[in-house]
Amino acid sequence: MTEGAESIMMGFCDPNCNAHGPNEFFDLDDLHKGIRSAAQFLEKMAGGK
């Protein structure tokens, strides 16, 4: 990690996914929505529409 670098954290899982628990899960629909969200975010950061 570069000291002083800005970062953005984006959470894409369901609030009930039991993150980091023994029965953690990540729904594929959440993955697909996360991919679309990240792509739209990067497009906007790059100055796209």
- What is the tens place of the pLDDT at every residue in 16-47? 899 889 999 999 999 999 999 999 999 998 98
pTM for the structure as a whole: 0.69
In the predicted structure, residue 4 carries a pLDDT above the cut 90? no
Nearest to 26 by CA among 14, 41, 36, 10: 14
Q: What is the pLDDT of residue 44?
A: 92
Q: What is the pLDDT of residue 19?
A: 87
Beta-strand (E) ranges in 1-49?
none
More confident of the two residues 3 and 20: 20
